[in-house]
Amino acid sequence: MKQVIENDPRYKKSNVSIARNAVVIEYRDMKVDVVPAFERASGGYIIPDTHSGGRWVKTNPRRYKQMFEAVNQSRNGKLERFVRNVKSWNEKHGKPYGSYHLEVMAYHHVRNQMDKNKPLNETAEEFFDGLPENTQSKRKLDVVRDPVYSDETVDGYMNREDRQNARKEAQKAQEKIKEARRLERAGKTDEAKAKLKEVYGRSFD
């Protein structure tokens, strides 16, 4: 597919590259991801994964969206807000995690909370407490299983160095969030907000 696009005169001025599941076409002011997908008789699709030697993986975006929205609704919109915050952290610190990988871990974390009304700041503290451990090795942890297909994991793109770098960033965030919570409990609200801004790159909401 990449070769076909590169040989097409319409894209001769565009940079074309491969990014795991997609061929990326870069225009002057935007990027387009082209993902080859084959429909499965049982639902969803199979798409290519260029990591780990190359293979085909199952995906079902429609079903996942339904599951995500169901959890988000049952938690009064907390999941969507939480994912927005952790993705802001990821962007600010050089994207140590793939976007979908991080979203899936956030999804599992919020879905499994016993207290549906737990405040967002406590949810974040708990999530980042477990993030370094959930990153350190390629194991069949529930937290990295695809929500639709439990036999698929979402962290296969990470090599040892990727995991080490991501774990370091997670530990830094973990420490700053704990400090922000300590400041908050001490009544130092402005200082706590400033500390969280160091983590997320913007106000935590």
In the chain, what are the domain boundaries? Answer: 58-200
Other Cβ atoms less than 10 A from the Cβ of 36: the count is 13
Q: Rounded to an integer, what distance in angstroms lies between the CA atom of residue 50 and that of residue 56? A: 9
Q: Say what the pLDDT of residue 92 is.
A: 93
Q: Which CATH number fits domain 58-200: 1.20.272, 1.10.1410, 3.30.70, 1.10.287?
A: 1.10.1410
H or E segment to which residue 183 belongs: helix 160-185
Phi and psi, residue 203, nearest 5°: -65, 140
Q: What are phi and psi of 154, to 5 degrees?
A: -105, 5
Q: Are 108 and 143 in contact (CB under 8 A)?
A: yes
Handedness of CA 124, 125, 131, 134 (dihedral sign): negative
The pTM of the full predicted model, rounded to 2 decimals, is 0.85
Partners of residue 22 on adjacent β-strands = 19
Residues β-bridged to residue 94: none
Q: What per-residue confidence (pLDDT) applies to 138?
A: 66
pLDDT tens string, the chain, 205 residues long: the values are 878 777 888 887 788 887 767 788 888 888 888 888 999 999 999 988 877 667 888 999 999 999 999 999 999 999 999 999 999 999 999 999 999 999 999 999 999 988 888 888 889 999 999 999 899 776 667 788 999 999 888 998 888 999 999 999 999 999 999 999 999 999 999 999 999 999 998 777 6
Alpha helices in 7-95 (DSSP H): 61-74, 78-92
